[in-house]
């Protein structure tokens, strides 16, 4: 594939850093954030970092697709029909132009960008955003709380800085567009991170509460148990004694 896609160069690396010490985005339900399920038997939170129907994955997917669309609109002014041709190839439509043909047309516009930057569906199928998140599938309560604390009150600052730096380094128009689009979506991105932070803490609470030793299983439980046995002995002895003939009672 000619050129490295936006998801390969930025989204994948940021997914790996977004949980600070981990690599997942948590939440409850589809189109919310990555699902997190307390596993009380194992004492951990289980997650699926490859869940692609989450708010987090969909946020980056939409950002990338919008950046690609805007950039192709610009290229289409220099080569009418180029956008449609690239889209046909991206969607694997019959009769679509070859990668070499499309790359040659992109180059003819004066753009240094590679075809791989303009085919989000194909590149997502190859190394989808969710697949870049890593392989860690479980988190202890301590790890979950540490990750939650690492999420700042302004979580969009870090990715914005990274996108700006990438655009300044690559000098590619599509990177400039991506950084600009992200700058208008801070509130949406921050919401996913605040939800992540809440869910990390909630999961840690659930696991800790669900795996807390019951009072009867600990030392106090043993003491109470012994006390109950002794109390029962006293009660039974009292009942037995009450039924015995009084030795001071004289029969006629």
Higher pLDDT, 157 or 243: 157
> Where does the pLDDT of residue 1 fall: very low under 50, low under 70, confident under 90, or very high at 90 and above?
very low
Cβ atoms of residues 1 and 99 within 8 Å:
yes
Per-residue buried b or exposed e for 199-223, using 16+ beta carbons within 10 Å of the residue's own CB: bbbbbbebbbeeeeeeeeeeeeeee
Q: Which two tokens stand for residue 176?
A: 């400039």
| E strands present in 105-159 | 138-139
Closest CA to 122 of 70, 96, 74, 87: 87
Q: Which two tokens stand for residue 238?
A: 């009292």
pLDDT at site 7: 42
If DSSP codes are grouped into helix, strand and coil, which group holds residue 229?
Answer: helix
pLDDT at site 26: 36
| Mean pLDDT, residues 98-102 taken together | 98
| Mean pLDDT, residues 53-79 taken together | 93
**In sequence order, what are the beta bridge partners of 31?**
none
Q: Which two tokens stand for residue 77?
A: 């002014």
Q: Which residues contact 144 (CB under 8 A, 6 or more apart)?
A: 45, 200, 201, 203, 204, 207
Lowest mean pLDDT, pick from 37-46, 137-146, 175-184, 217-226? 217-226
Residues 163-172: contacts with CB under 8 Å, at least 24 apart = 163/10, 166/9, 166/10, 171/112, 172/112, 172/113, 172/117
- Cα-based torsion angle of the residue sequence 144, 149, 150, 154 in order, rounded to the nearest 10 degrees: 130
Higher pLDDT, 229 or 120: 120
| Mean pLDDT, residues 139-165 taken together | 92
- The owner of tokens 């992540």 is 196
pLDDT digits (tens, 9 = 90+) for 184-222: 999 999 998 898 888 889 999 999 998 877 655 555 555
138 has a pLDDT exceeding 90 = no
Cβ atoms of residues 63 and 174 within 8 Å:
no
| Mean pLDDT, residues 166-187 taken together | 97
For residue 45, the surrounding DSSP H or E stretch is strand 44-47
pLDDT at site 2: 42
54 has a pLDDT exceeding 80 = no
* Model pTM above 0.85: no
- Cα-based torsion angle of the residue sequence 185, 191, 192, 197 in order, rounded to the nearest 10 degrees: 140
């Amino acid at each position: 594939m000619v050129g490295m896609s936006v998801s390969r160069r930025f989204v994948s690396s940021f997914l790996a850093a977004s949980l600070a010490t981990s690599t997942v985005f948590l939440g409850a339900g589809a189109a919310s954030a990555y699902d997190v399920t307390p596993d009380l038997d194992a004492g951990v939170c289980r997650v699926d970092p490859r869940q692609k129907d989450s708010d987090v994955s969909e946020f980056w997917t939409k950002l990338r697709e919008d950046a690609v669309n805007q950039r192709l609109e610009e290229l289409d002014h220099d080569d009418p029909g180029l956008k449609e041709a690239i889209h046909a190839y991206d969607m694997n439509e019959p009769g679509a132009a070859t990668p070499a043909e499309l790359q040659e047309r992109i180059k003819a516009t004066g753009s240094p960008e590679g075809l791989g930057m303009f085919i989000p569906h194909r590149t997502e199928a190859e190394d989808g955003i969710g697949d870049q998140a890593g392989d860690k599938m479980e988190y202890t309560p301590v790890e979950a709380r540490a990750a939650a604390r690492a999420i700042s009150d302004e979580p969009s600052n870090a990715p914005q800085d990274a996108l700006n730096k990438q655009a300044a380094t690559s000098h590619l128009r599509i990177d400039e567009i991506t950084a600009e689009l992200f700058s208008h979506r801070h509130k949406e991105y921050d919401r996913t991170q605040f939800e992540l932070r809440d869910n990390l803490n909630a999961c840690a609470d659930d696991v800790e509460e669900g795996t807390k030793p019951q009072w009867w299983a600990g030392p106090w439980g043993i003491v109470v148990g012994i006390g109950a046995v002794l109390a029962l002995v006293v009660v039974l002895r009292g009942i037995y004694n009450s039924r015995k003939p009084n030795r001071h009672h004289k029969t006629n």
